Amino acid sequence: MSATPHRLVLTGGMLFDVARDSRHEGHLLIEGGRIAAWLDDAGLARLDAVPRVDVAGCLMAPGLIDLHTHLGEPGDDDAETIVSVTRAAAAGGFTTICAMPDTQPVTDTPAAIEYVRRIAARDGAVRIEPLGALTMGGAGTHLSELAALAEAGCVAFSDGDRPLGDPAMLRNALRYASMLDRPVCLTALEPRLMRGWAMHEGAVAHRLGLPGAPDCAEEIAVARDLALAAHTGARVQLGIITTARGVALLRAARERGVPFSAATTPHHALLDDRWVLGWLGTRPTEGLDPTRLPPYDAATRITPPLRTPDDAAAVVAALADGTIDLLVSDHTPRTSAAVEREYRLVPPGITSLETSLATALALVHAGRISLATLLRCFIDAPARLLGRPVPRLQPGEPADLVAIDLAHDWQVDPQRFHSRGRTSPLASQSLRGQIALTMCAGRIVHDDGRRPVVG
């Protein structure tokens, strides 16, 4: 992509104010990496010498923030590099991705944090903010030097997708973290109920002969994590919430006023365990079609597992009423060699940065959540959890933004992903809503091929 001009006008976009849930058309002047002004038609006419990009009809919003991205680099750059993951992020509308600490090495030292920040600044198309490992090696037995990690610039603490099994250890970790003004992102799963699991425990797993992870593994962990959050006063984010039982506990905690943040993914809201059945199941009458996949497809192996249709419906309801306030991609790149194997032994995780927004938009198009809710879950809530001002498309703000062509239908083709990861359960499915243009710090980092800079 050629260098973005220092001054640029994005013309004809639909400006969306999440706070007021209002839209109006206008033109956005970008200058020196920041938003300089909103222009009406007369204002645009006065700037006819300034280069323009036509984003007519597109929804304009601040860049999305992903709190849960797994990197490949350092450690597994066959699966993903900083270049490929940030290009994938840009293509998915994300201008900031928060990197899970489960790289090789694990980011449990200031040097590891600084390394990720350095290569991110050098190679990244978008911003990468590293999380620090809550425990050494993410192994759950010894606390990392959390204060040193915070000073080195980590934005949050987490052990990635590995749940901390020992409640006494978790209590100590939360108490210690509470003095450091960093949130702790927890995986709400009880590992002792998930030994040898392949998918969600239920009728589908039973038919396929696969060992299951029961929903109570989440329910127990949610209860425990909520209790420890209240007890320690730590700022916690519970993730990734996937079950009706987990949602019920969270909703009750919201009603009591317990402060917490909770995350889910668009795929857990929209897909379910029938996707593991693939063409052995029945074709749905509308929406996405799981029968296009073969049974036991590696792209359906996800942690936490895809749950039942009732669970997915409960997750959507929780997004709609604010019980769950965060959407994350849980992007997890894998090489094809790593996933071409026995289903239960496939390392869980899918390539999702480039499909997350469009997947979540399917809920908006179906009238199940509002567009404002979707944007709050991808923009406002992550910013708040990171302790930052909520991004707005206002003069003076950094030009981290996205133009979304809400009506554009496209077919998911993993071979055309920018990510090196190719595992997606959505392969060949049709989604509505595509990123027209992504800008990070005033630089165009992605466009849909129909956005030439004119003038």
Partner 1 sequence: MGEPAIVPGGRRHVLDLDDFAAEEISAVLETARSMQEVLGRRIKQVPALRGRTVVNMFFEDSTRTRISFEVAARALSAAIVNFSARGSSVEKGESLLDTVRTIEALGADVIVIRHAEAGVPQLVAHAFGGSVINAGDGRHAHPSQALLDLYTIHARFGSIAGLRVVIVGDVVHSRVVRSGLWGLTTMGARVTLVAPTTLLGPAAYWHATWPEVTVTTDLDRAIDGADVVMALRLQQERQDAGLLPSLGEYRRRYAITAERLARAAPHAIVMHPGPMNAGVEITPEVATAPQSVIEAQVGNGVAVRMALLYHLAGES
Q: Which of 209, 367, 389, 396 binds partner 1 (CB under 8 A)?
A: 209
Characterize the bridge pairing of strands 326-327 and 261-264.
parallel
Q: For residues 294 and 455, which CB has a smaller minimum distance to partner 1 in the complex?
A: 294
Beta strand segments in 32-144, E: 34-39, 52-54, 59-62, 64-69, 94-99, 127-130, 132-133
Q: Which is nearer to partner 1, 38 or 279 (CB)?
A: 279
- DSSP designation for 377: I
Q: Record the tokens describing residue 371, joined without a space.
A: 């567009």
- Tokens encoding 424: 């997606």
Per the annotation, the verdict on 330 as an active-site residue is yes
Positive/negative CA dihedral, 201, 68, 182, 236: negative
How many residues bind partner 1 (CB under 8 A)? The answer is 20
Contact call for residue 202 and partner 1 (CB under 8 A):
yes
In angstroms, give the least distance from the CB of 332 to partner 1: 20
What binding mask, one character per residue, do residues 111-150 give for partner 1 by CB under 8 A, x or -?
A: ----------------------------------------
Work out the number of other CB atoms within 10 angstroms of the CB of residue 178.
Answer: 16
Question: Counting Cβ atoms within 10 Å, is residue 343 exposed (0-12), middle (13-18) or buried (19+)?
Answer: middle
Report residue 182 as tokens. 């960093």
The residue from 340, 394, 416, 454 that contacts partner 1 (CB under 8 A) is 340
Task: Please report, as residue ranges, which positions from 275 to 304 form the binding site for partner 1 (by CB under 8 A).
Answer: 280, 294-296
Quote the least distance from Cβ 276 to partner 1, whole Å.
Answer: 9
| Residue among 142, 206, 388, 450 that touches partner 1 (CB under 8 A) | 206
Instruction: Give the integer Cα–Cα distance in Å for 150 and 130.
Output: 10
Of 39 and 208, CB closest to partner 1: 208
Is residue 207 a contact residue for partner 1 (CB under 8 A)? yes
| Residue range at the interface with partner 1 (CB under 8 A); choices 86-94, 176-184, 202-210, 325-333 | 202-210
- The interface mask with partner 1, positions 357-396, x = CB under 8 A, is ----------------------------------------
Cα 50 from Cα 27, distance rounded (Å):
12
CA distance 300 to 453: 40
Cα–Cα distance, 412 to 393 (Å, whole number)? 29
> Which residues here bind partner 1, judged by CB under 8 A?
198, 202-204, 206-210, 280, 294-296, 337, 340-345
Q: Any idea which residues carry the catalytic annotation?
A: 330
